[in-house]
Chains A and B, each alone.
Chain A
Amino acid sequence: MKRIAGMILLAFGLTGILWADSTLSINGAGATFPYPLYSKWFDEYHKKNPNLQINYQSIGSGGGIKQLTEGTVDFGASDLPMNDDQLKAYQEKHSIGILHFPTVLGAVVPTYNIPGVDAALNFTPEALAGIFLGKITKWNDPAMADANKGVKLPAQDIIVVHRAEASGTTFIWTDYLSKISDEWKNTVGAGPAPKWPVGLGGKGNEGVTGTVKNTPNSIGYVELIYAESNKIPYGTVKNASGVFVKPSLAAVSAAAAGAAKAMPDDFRVSITNAPGKDSYPISSFTWLLIPEKFSDAAKRDAIKGFVRWMLADGQNYAEGLSYAKLPKEVVAKEIKAIDKIQ
């Protein structure tokens, strides 16, 4: 018995030594939304570079920013860009800055359950803001009826469903509503967990979907990936050019391309309500958060190598997992920005 235990210990010890000898380990933490793609990327990249192991914990965007600031991870990931206060806090603690690298895009779609209505509904910005502010309370309100000629909407109370927990999805949704409605901007604002004027909270995408499915005459919002893979009904949204656009990966990439011309150098940009007639208006980038300076040269080179690969080969994995690819203009700009990592 003792001998067996000894051998097991020895085996562990040896693998420990071999492991430490040959593998560089990089740790990251953050957003849950891109996690399926990130874990695929890190896995594929590890196959190509057996000496590099990237570990990623999907603990949420806020948690990622917090751990990055505390210096417990090498990089972070977030569905919303770090704000000025957060950047300042990082700067004060580590006396270097943080670089944002967009990786892919996602979209958020309105989903609903109205008995007797099978058609994809059209939503105007005014209708969405009105419903979520609690100003539009019936499905057959003129704001909905005018945009959906030919659909018989019931005279029933609208039940609003939103995310219960703080989430990047909610940030994208409220960021959009803030852009198209001054009232929303002034009374609710944009954030991962706002004070909702009306509605029920469901936990996670599945909680919102479950509540919408179980509640007649309800409306909620979920990530496009989630709506597509679970085959739940979702509507089209009227964009800044006045066109009703069906949410799709192409329409999301179009929104990114529309915003790319005005892309700031730090990539901290919101692309909700983006210009362009093909753009789906409730879209957003998701970012990697990488420190400007690494004291460990091996880590720095490994991260730069990974970002370069992510922008080239890595993008090809995106659509298979229902994420929208970065437009070419953004990729070109990011490749230039890699040199800022020192």
Chain B
Amino acid sequence: MATTSKTVPGASPIPGARSFLSRLREGDEIARMITFLFAASVVLVTLLLVFELWRGSALPRHKFGFAFFRTSVWDPIFDQFGALPFIYGTLVTSITALLIAVPLGIGAAIFLAELAPARLSDTLEFFIDLLAAVPSVIYGLLGVFIVIPLMRLYIQPALKSTLGFLPLFQGPAYGVGFLTAGIVLAIMVIPYIISVSREVLLSVPRDQREAALSLGSTHWESTWKVVVPFARTGIMGSIFLALARALGETMAVTMVIGNTPIISASLFSPGYSIAAVIANEFTEATGDLYLQSLIELGLVLFLLTFILNGLARLLILVTSKRGSETALA
């Protein structure tokens, strides 16, 4: 290979095959260094972020230690800070959102990619991309003016009368709360799931479908048993993108969650999320312990995202291995 001075762009050079200077002259080395710097800056920014959050939260880390994660009192006047209700609220709203958004989003993506005529699919895709670009405050307003009254007047009473024996659906119907925040978040993340999943499904090779059809499967069987499993990793990716968005969403959540640090089994109860409390209290936080406790909440949110992303990777690893095993069997 690369014996002449011209190399094919993109072909990987054999290390040490040519002198550093000749590679530098050709520009390969310069391009490598520049792109390496760009890639390294991402890692650098992440590390800097963690370092700053760590450094900025020294006071509460020393004062409360791990109790910060276990206690549920948040009282700036008497300088008591605990993160538990916020962690709980963040997780509950995000999980509720995914429970609603994943079946809807993937179902819509399958329809658009496999079943709908191309013209309809492309038109709908345009609207879905538009939805993904709507600022979150707009979704918050939608929540305040439409979802909250609907919840209070119709959905919550209906759930109470049918599923009221479950602790999930008990207590007064305020309209705001975990469930409302979950629904608004679901509306916000569905476009991401549809958009990414549709692309992934469309990129499944034609051979796969044709092979399934030639073996006598119906259109739906080839879609559900061949195409969707083939695209599984990408679909998972879209779900985790949605989860990341739901965990960090601030504006829309604070407008509909009720902003009360409560841990309650009922989805009707008002609650609070980490991102919302930081946004609400940061500007007026007086006193170092108060401010630094909010910064530590930021660190907690970062850790939460980190752990969930790690679990996601693990899940993809495990399922893709199992997938290939069943394929072999």
Contact = CB atoms under 8 A, between A and B. Distances in A.
Interface of A: 59-63, 65-66, 85-86, 157, 159, 164-168, 188-196, 199-203, 207, 210-211, 214-215
Q: How large is the interface on B (under 10, 10 to 19, 20 to 34, 35 or more residues)?
A: 20 to 34
B258 A192 contact: no
Given A60-B284, A193-B76, 15 more contacts: A62-B286, A63-B284, A66-B286, A164-B259, A164-B276, A165-B284, A166-B284, A189-B78, A193-B281, A195-B76, A195-B80, A200-B176, A200-B260, A201-B260, A215-B152
Given A164-B259, A194-B76, A195-B77, A200 B281 contact: no
A214 to B, nearest CB: 6
A199 B76 contact: no
Contact of B74 (A59, A66, A195): A195
B280 A165 contact: yes
A199 B175 CA distance: 13
Interface of B: 73-78, 80, 144, 148-149, 152, 172, 174-176, 254-255, 258-260, 270, 272, 276, 279-281, 283-287
Contacts, number: 87
Contacts of A195: 73-78, 80
A86 B254 CA distance: 30
Nearest to A157: B172
Contact of A166 (B73, B258, B281): B281
A62 B76 contact: no
Contacts of A199: 260
A210 B284 CA distance: 22
A214 B148 contact: yes
A189 B284 contact: no
B258 A200 contact: yes
Contacts of B276: 164
Contact of B152 (A62, A65, A189, A214): A214
Contacts of A211: 176
Contacts of A189: 77-78
Per CB-CB distance, the 5 closest pairs between chain A and chain B, nearest first, are A201-B259, A166-B284, A164-B259, A165-B280, A62-B284
Contact of B260 (A61, A166, A196, A203): A196
A191 B144 contact: no
